[in-house]
Amino acid sequence: MSAVAAKQESNAPSYDILFAAPDRDGSIVSVRVHRQVKEMLAEIAEKEGLNGVSELVRYIIAGFLIGKYEPARPDPKVLHAPIFLNINVNKKEETRGEALVISMEAEEAVREAEEFLAKVRRGTVQLRGNEYAKKLRDRIAKLMARSLRYGLEDEYAKLRAVFNALQE
């Protein structure tokens, strides 16, 4: 690469400013042409939808510089298609493994109720007016409904017997 080409390349304007019209910091380049040439340039600018001869001349100069010196073009901005994300929240209870969980909870509730009833028989705790007994009855009633829903008759029978014992 010759020294002149290297100097021209270092002074070459960036691709972004080739087509822009600066407000105050730009330089004015004036060219004398025949009236007929100016009229023809005005017609071309109007046909191309540009704002006058000045913008057309800027585009002509930019086209020449792009063709001659090939300034580095910026990477094109790529707009990606939007991503749609659907989140499906299942608010129903899951049936997988639910029967096993209910049977385990039922066994635990029956064990707790039998321990409580043993204390009642010994006379250490009263059944009537006991807050723990009320909570235990409510919990067993919910488990009875769930066990019927999932077809667990054995657990239902155990829970029903304990529930009736807690009612007395």
Question: Higher pLDDT residue, 74 or 167?
Answer: 167
Name the pLDDT band for 7 (thresholds 50, 70, 90): very low
DSSP string, 95-161: -TTHHHHHHHHHHHHHHHHHHHHHHHHHTSS-STT-HHHHHHHHHHHHHHHHHHHTT-HHHHHHHHH
Q: What is the pLDDT of residue 24?
A: 67
The alpha carbon of 93 is separated from its chain's Cα centroid by a whole number of angstroms, namely: 26
Please give the mean pLDDT across all residues of the chain: 80
* pTM, to two decimals: 0.43
Domain ranges of the chain: 7-69, 98-167
For residues 54-61, average pLDDT: 85
Render pLDDT for 102-154 as a digit per residue (tens, 0 to 9): 889 999 999 999 999 999 888 888 888 888 889 999 999 999 998 888 888 89
Mean pLDDT of 43-53: 87
